[in-house]
Amino acid sequence: MKRVQQNLNDGKIILAEVPLPSASGSEYLIKTNKTLISIGTEKMLMEFGNSNLIGKVLKQPERAKEVIQKIQSDGLFSAYEAVSSKLNSPLDLGYCNVGTIDQSFHKGYEIGARVISNGFHADFVSVSKNLVCRIPDNVDDESACFTVPASISLQGIRLLDPSIGENVVVFGLGLIGMLAVQILKANGCNVIAIDPDKEKRQIAENFGAFTIDASDEEELLTYFQSAFPLGVDGVLICASSPKNNIISQAATISRKRGKIILIGVVGLNLNRNDFYEKELSFQVSCSYGPGRYDQSYENSGHDFPYAYVRWTENRNFQAILSLMSESKINTKNLFSKAFDIKNVGEAYDFVLEKAPLGVILNYSNTLAEDEKKDLVHKSKINKSNGDNDINVSFIGAGNYASRSLLPLIKKHDVNFKNLISNGGSLSSKEAKKYDFEKISSQKNLLNSKDTNTLFITSRHDSHAKYVLDAIENNQNIWVEKPLAISIKELEKIRESFYKRKNDTKLVVGFNRRFSPHVVKIKQLLDKRKNRPKNFLYTINAGTIADDHWIHDPSIGGGRLIGEACHFVDLIKFLADSEVKEHSCYPMLDLNQTNPNYDSFIIILRFKDGSVGNISYFSNGSKNYTKERIEIFSDGSILQLDNFKKLKGFNWPSFSSFKTFKIEKGQKELISSFFSSIKENKEPPMDFEGIYESSRIVIDLYDRIFSK
């Protein structure tokens, strides 16, 4: 199937071949009929992509600061790789979709129902139920395409909370502004619309607004002083401008205790006196309404209680469609031109040249059933499938897989078979780059006989299931940490592994064991095997948004299970002794009652008397090194700084070891893994060691965070 994407590096619009997205749980699979190009958002992305590197920095200075911080903490090479990968990753475009339900896995709309959603520009989209709404029979598809941007206007108006008869000013007559004018008129307001474009002002006048040319600021302010000596009741800013004059004008024309709501993007250098003397209220509106960017609402399908959150995203969609059904919103004058999806390049050229209000893409959707299931990429290489070949399939095509694993795997003599990904945005690019034979969202391909080695880089809650399936299929397994997120899953894997072991090689992505720095440390420590040691491992992890999936115990297992297993495994490996006791001390909140899931200290006591202290903190500075290991033993110290510089203090015959860039052992682990398969020897890590590292963090989580 086809999906519209943009390369942020050069701004090019791509009509990519991607697999059909999968839908399950709270999602619908929607067959697209039409989509609306969002002129504001998508034109901005095109202009960003078309600008050079300096232009990109000027447009997003906050990102430049992040890059500088990454250079300081990780080095220039790592920062360059991260930026290059980000800019060369395809970006899916579109959020105004009209189509029909093709598949549903829950009680809701029936197959064939006409719906709107915030789905991409694509033949098929998978969308959570809270972002899907049925279209009334008397609302045509073209009009329904405007539902999502109209909901953005509606949310701003809800924050403004105007009453019948109030005077409301709309700055900016782009698509959002035009829709806002109509909604305000339907609410019984007197609307004054401001824009420099004469044609747009004429359209707004047809909707019932009084309009003013924004070109002459002095004339504009003179008008308001004369027509509204006490000021207007509310101002809705839908314009896009880097200048501060719009916010200043909005304050000047407002009445005492008036409201100003920002939907667009303008300069926000506020004059305190303007707001202080009138006690003005200023608020920024967030997209379609409550629920936006909330993972629980948008992804998991959990609704907000009707009595407490009257207007959510979905309920705003319903309200807009109701207004359209009652002919209170007219989109005919907002629609400029339609293009077939095959001619999407012409559509975006038209957007850049003409700056229209609304451009629609039409979809024919004549995919055959076999095209809908998988496919997309036919390998150009005639690959053999000998008995000793390593035939690799991948589940998951996220950042770690695309940036770290696939480039390293490509250096080895392997055959890339199936790439399985739900979304498909990265999978199409990676499939062509690494010459996978097939890409799909169909999980059953993982069980195909042509795969003898499976890489699992999907979300944490799926790891155990895929590992168990791979063991049953006698496949070699490389699974990104964690191995499992519950004791029940872990014990199932252990039982299955020993029951069906055969020649299966299983490793977890505990790559730090294989870093050349760690190899050197292990060589030095082996000379003091019978002496206890103290390990101090500090991880400056940084914050992750509260609604990120890793914090969900049922999906990510939290950072203790999802990330700290790495560090427990490394200290265990270096101590080379049985763990006698393990404990965890989370940082508490101000009331000393609720544990912080992101900052904690793990203590490991070993049978030989050694002690490991793993300090995992999210409340540090990005300018500080990410990882530091210090090992104390018999009057000597080893210090490893961010897997780049190892120093010895009073260590006989050793002073320092450096590498050009951060070396965390990924390439060494992959090389050892493939060698064990090719030469049919023991895998590079024993299963009991993997099991024990995984069991410790799960046990700590259950003890500390599940009370």
Convert the pLDDT of each residue in 446-472 to its tens digit. Answer: 767 788 999 999 999 999 999 999 999
Residue 426's identity, in one-letter code, is L
Query: Alpha carbon of 685 to those of 343, 526, 672: distances in Å?
Result: 52, 18, 9
Helix and strand counts by DSSP (H, E) for the chain: 25, 32
List, in order, residues 6 or more apart from 512 with CB less than 8 Å away.
518, 566, 567, 569, 570, 643, 664, 665
Instruction: Scan for tokens 């700290």, then name that residue.
Output: 564
Residue 56 binned pLDDT confidence (cut-offs 50, 70, 90): very low
pTM (two decimals): 0.79
Instruction: Scan for tokens 């002496």, then name that residue.
Output: 531
Average per-residue pLDDT for the chain: 86
3-state class percentages of the chain: helix first, strand second, coil last, to nearest 5: 40, 25, 35
Q: Minimal CA–CA distance to 248: which of 285, 286, 278?
A: 278
Instruction: Scan for tokens 């700056």, then name that residue.
Output: 355
Per-residue pLDDT tens for 345-395? 899 888 888 778 889 999 986 555 545 555 444 555 545 556 678 999 998
Question: In this structure, what token pair is assigned to residue 662?
Answer: 């951060």
Q: What is the pLDDT of residue 64?
A: 52
Dihedral of CA atoms 142, 144, 150, 154 in degrees, nearest 10, equals 160
Residue 106 binned pLDDT confidence (cut-offs 50, 70, 90): confident
Which region among 108-122, 336-350, 381-395, 575-589 has the lowest average model confidence (pLDDT)? 381-395
List, in order, residues 6 or more apart from 649 with CB less than 8 Å away.
636, 637, 638, 639
d(CA 157, CA 168): 10
Q: What is the pLDDT of residue 281?
A: 94
Phi, psi of 378 (to 5 degrees): -100, 125
| CB count in 10 Å sphere of residue 691 | 18
Query: Alpha carbon of 299 to those of 115, 262, 518, 548, 562: distances in Å?
Result: 18, 27, 40, 11, 20
656, 646 contact by CB (below 8 A):
yes
Phi, psi of 597 (to 5 degrees): -70, -15
